[in-house]
Structure 1
């Protein structure tokens, strides 16, 4: 049987850095009375040795519980408050606290928000963020991986710096939505997509239309902001470019609700003239007329995975560098709009 490699301890860091155990503790916890040069040397050694402190023990020393930083792109989109509510509730059951960080669209402001938050948390959960969001994190936050700070990505592209990823199976969801639309006799299916990212949903949509012999041209797709106003504009643009469309798949529910308004203003009845399917499964989809059919993301399940992954890494149950990947599906919730 192969012998296990002894875990690196704080004493190993202290020995290599040439400082006391107490100095290592103060440097890694951002406490005062440690010079910048000493702190940098300790952090460098900890990173090189892949030292991962016992966060549970640190919590006892600091007299506080674990704090998770939840980083989101835009709290104005109801998807993020719904997810934040689920994660905060589950974290509370663990005795944890959650700090929210809305990064917004301004890169410099986003960097400043992350800088002010990241040194106050024991773990980071990134959700709905662009891939380059990881690049906005302060350098010592990424070095923090060696200091036991997990970075978990929800519904985003994996990056080398993250410890775990929870992906959403949009391909299966898109196919379920299009199966539903074609089953209702819809054949001229358009798509309203995000103008900010290269959406995997668009590729799944195109693949489905090609495989099922359904019409597609460049006029079948419209892209706009991921907002209610973007949905209104996209609906008007779509009707101008593809007036014969009898159904549309929309990037998210907020845009889809905007599209409902845009079609109504243009005198198009939903679903009689054009069926509408959103994505996210937000509660607000039941507050509009007609109620919105949507591919629902289980926000509680997504939050559960996030909490489990953070807990596994903090407790040492997840091997260092394991980069666990999980996946959840979407559920088509059929209401009045399609």
Structure 2
């Protein structure tokens, strides 16, 4: 048999060392029928030599025991994360999984008790897999994709271009794009709007997302907010300043929060189907348990959709 690999051994390594299929390894490790004693002992010996520790999540897929999914989300005061968490909880329950939620600061604590982790934080995500090398980790829309993690990526360029065309068609020529980075313009969502404006011969003004409307350049006639919450804040400021929306100023948000449907005027936004995001993330968790060693982490790409409403 081969020497233990430097990386954490996988079920494929055990199958190769024992000269059997992955299915046979699964049957041997979980004492399932359909395998003769000599083959079972050969598989168990290979697993011991390679120091193989089965993924707890993968083990749950072949046994009826409940599985525990760790869900790490950003600020739950933001409905964006709350809506995603709600979708994950519903879909996980339908699959018979338990869900344990944590903030990013305590993500590492999940490694001891979770069978897999889904992270949706909007920031750099700490590595919870120290001491748990087989722990499946799926990130949702990470600002800096990890080369060894599966992820659900968001495509915003198409919807951003549609929103820009919508604003320009309505006469907006002095747009502002708000962003979370300093200097502004560094995030992927802001960059998509900036590129779309510039491709059409319009140079947008960039400002930090915390800027009030009174701090923006005189004559601003369109504002692309960093997210829907910022867009709703701007609508309130414009109402208090007696500025007509959309006649004088047009406002676009990003995220597609349900609350945007219940404002006056209703907020135009780049929306993403969070139920579909949750479904893709859970599918990736399962896919990770069968991934071949050294294979690139799987990626699912979901697109935003521009929804034009009364704010533009």
Task: Give TM class, smaller chain.
Answer: 0.7 to 0.9
| Conserved? CA contact 1:236–1:263, under 8 Å | no
Offset at residue 123 of structure 1 (A): 0.6
SS state of the match for residue 299, structure 2?
strand
Is residue 2:116 matched to residue 1:123?
yes
RMSD of the TM alignment (CA)? Answer: 3.0
Pick aligned residue for 2:208 from 179, 202, 223: 223
| Conserved? CA contact 1:271–1:336, under 8 Å | yes
Is residue 2:304 matched to residue 1:334?
no
Of 282-291 and 59-68, more deviation after overlay is shown by: 59-68
| Conserved? CA contact 1:167–1:326, under 8 Å | yes
Offset at residue 73 of structure 1 (A): 1.5
| Conserved? CA contact 1:193–1:223, under 8 Å | yes
Distance in 2 separating the partners of 1:278 and 1:81: 17
Residue 158 of structure 1: aligned partner: 145
Distance in 2 separating the partners of 1:167 and 1:184: 31
Paired residues for 1:195-206 under 5 Å: 195=181, 198-206=186-194
| Conserved? CA contact 1:222–1:237, under 8 Å | no
Distance in 1 separating the partners of 2:130 and 2:58: 25
Distance in 1 separating the partners of 2:266 and 2:275: 22
Q: Structure 1-normalised TM-score?
A: 0.72
| Conserved? CA contact 2:57–2:116, under 8 Å | no
**Cα distance 1:115–1:266, how it changes in 2: closer, same or farther (>3 A)?**
same
**Cα distance 1:173–1:190, how it changes in 2: closer, same or farther (>3 A)?**
same
Alpha-carbon deviations, 1:200-254, whole Å to 9, x = none? 12222222222211144xxx12113xxxxx3xx432322xxx1211111111101
**Cα distance 1:80–1:177, how it changes in 2: closer, same or farther (>3 A)?**
same
Offset at residue 118 of structure 1 (A): 2.6
Residue 247 of structure 1: aligned partner: 222
| Conserved? CA contact 1:65–1:96, under 8 Å | yes
Distance in 2 separating the partners of 1:200 and 1:263: 27
Structure 1: runs of 5+ lacking an equivalent: 13-23, 26-45, 104-109, 225-229
Offset at residue 99 of structure 1 (A): 1.1
**Cα distance 1:153–1:60, how it changes in 2: closer, same or farther (>3 A)?**
closer
Pick aligned residue for 2:250 from 263, 268, 275: 275
Residue 179 of structure 2: aligned partner: 193
Paired residues for 1:174-323 under 5 Å: 174-195=160-181, 198-216=186-204, 220-224=205-209, 230=210, 233-238=211-216, 242-314=217-289, 316=290, 318-320=291-293, 321-323=295-297
Offset at residue 51 of structure 1 (A): 3.8
Alpha-carbon deviations, 1:22-52, whole Å to 9, x = none? xx99xxxxxxxxxxxxxxxxxxxx9x95946
Residue 68 of structure 1: aligned partner: 69
| Conserved? CA contact 2:177–2:194, under 8 Å | no
Offset at residue 65 of structure 1 (A): 1.3
Alpha-carbon deviations, 1:91-125, whole Å to 9, x = none? 1111111111123xxxxxx1xx2233331101111
Distance in 2 separating the partners of 1:177 and 1:49: 54
Residue 78 of structure 1: aligned partner: 79
Offset at residue 289 of structure 1 (A): 1.4
Residue 39 of structure 1: aligned partner: none
Residues matched between the structures, number: 272
**Cα distance 1:138–1:245, how it changes in 2: closer, same or farther (>3 A)?**
same
Residue 98 of structure 1: aligned partner: 99
| Conserved? CA contact 1:222–1:234, under 8 Å | no
Q: Structure 2-normalised TM-score?
A: 0.78
